[in-house]
Amino acid sequence: MSKTELLYEGKAKKIWKTEDKEFLISEFKDDLTAFNGEKKSSEEGKGALNNQISSALFKLLNEKGIPTHFVKMLDENNMLHKSCDVIKIEVIVRNIATGSLSKNLGIENGKVLPFTLVEFDYKNDELGDPKINDQHALILGLVQHQDELDKIRRVARQINEILKPYFFERGLKLVDFKLEFGKDKDGNIILIDELSPDNCRFWDVESGESLDKDRFRQGQGGLKLAYEQVLNRILNK
């Protein structure tokens, strides 16, 4: 399977068409962005790390019965996956308060939440990916009916129930993470996009050190080393 035509280029990936219309290739980029694109940079090797981490996690979720778009990792930077109609909702799953949740609601940074919080953002760069509720999603036509939102929320919690203990066993707290979903050719809602330190927050269980894109957001440095730690803990457990 090879690339035939560039379909879309986003902040972190290029999406390519292939000879088969049912499959696409995601090329993971080394670009870094934060704060809705206001802060930009790049880190050599970051894309390859995200592809390897995402591939491993998609394999895990497939084995646990969570349907995803993942087919296989083609090489360090490229992933083959199913073509899907993207649902323009970013699903934020939170176990511990930090970032915008602490800033906007005054919840103490690092506070373990009494239950897993699932939020929806409207996937729209021009509007800055605003928070939305179920009624907004229905009014905007992002889904066809409430049952689809209920399923997305339920699957997001199931993914959290798989990944949270998985990472804890590897010395990492899964603080929060972003998910995206799409519909396959049969209309089934499946997990798409990526699962990596670009869209997950990981804190070391012992030190509390951040091992994700917050290192870039906060100007801490050492981003590639942090991503390598995450991959090594996945591969070597």
Q: Do residue 63 and residue 130 come from a single domain?
A: no
Contact 67, 190 (CB under 8 A): yes
Residues 83-114: tens digit of each pLDDT: 999 999 999 999 999 999 999 999 999 999 99
Contact 221, 189 (CB under 8 A): no
SS (H, E, C) 84-122: CEEEEEEEEEEEECCHHHHHHHCCCCCCEEEEEEEEEEE
Q: Do residue 69 and residue 94 come from a single domain?
A: no
Residues 61-84: tens digit of each pLDDT: 999 999 999 999 999 999 999 999
Q: Are strands 39-42 and 78-82 parallel, antiparallel or unpaired?
A: unpaired
pLDDT of residue 192: 98
- pTM, 2 dp: 0.95
For residue 237, tell me if it sits in a domain: no
pLDDT of residue 182: 98
Residue 184, SS3 per DSSP: coil
Q: Do residue 11 and residue 53 come from a single domain?
A: yes
The chain-wide mean pLDDT, for the chain, equals 96
Instruction: Give the domain extent around 73.
Output: 3-82
The CATH number of the domain where 54 resides is what? 3.30.200.20
For residue 235, tell me if it sits in a domain: no
The CATH number of the domain where 90 resides is what? 3.30.470.20
pLDDT of residue 38: 78
Residues 9-58: tens digit of each pLDDT: 999 999 999 999 999 999 999 989 887 777 889 899 999 999 999 999 99
Residues 142-162: tens digit of each pLDDT: 999 999 999 999 999 999 999
Q: Do residue 189 and residue 116 come from a single domain?
A: yes
Q: Do residue 207 and residue 102 come from a single domain?
A: yes
Q: Do residue 68 and residue 106 come from a single domain?
A: no
